[in-house]
Amino acid sequence: MDFKVLVTTFGMIFLAELGDKTQLATLCFAAESKSRLAVFVGSATALVVTSLLAVLVGAGLSRVLPTGYVKTGAGVLFIALGLWMVFVPGSR
């Protein structure tokens, strides 16, 4: 296992997740639930499954497209979704 990749991935995902909608939703579920363990397990499992999907799709795309295209496509999609959320009524 490449520990440099592991630590870099952990750091970037950890920083990206701080204060995002997923964390705030989890905070709200934990605040209103008596079973905080169930909230933790549910949210952790959801993050693991979405990360697994991202890894599988990324690995598949890298087999048919150059890595630069995958990175550029992800960046463009990220910007497009941000603009959509800002400018399309009812998307917030």
From first to last of its 92 residues, the chain has per-residue pLDDT tens of 899 999 999 999 888 888 788 888 999 999 999 999 999 999 999 999 999 999 999 899 989 999 999 899 989 998 998 899 888 887 65
- Residue 90, pLDDT score: 76
Angle between helices 67-87 and 36-64 (to 10 degrees): 130
Tokens of 35: 């079973």
**Burial of 85 from C-beta contacts in 10 A (0-12 / 13-18 / 19+):** exposed
pLDDT score recorded for residue 76: 96
Residue 92: per-residue pLDDT? 57
pLDDT for 16 equals 85
Please give the angle made by the CA atoms of 36, 29 and 32, to the nearest 5 degrees: 80
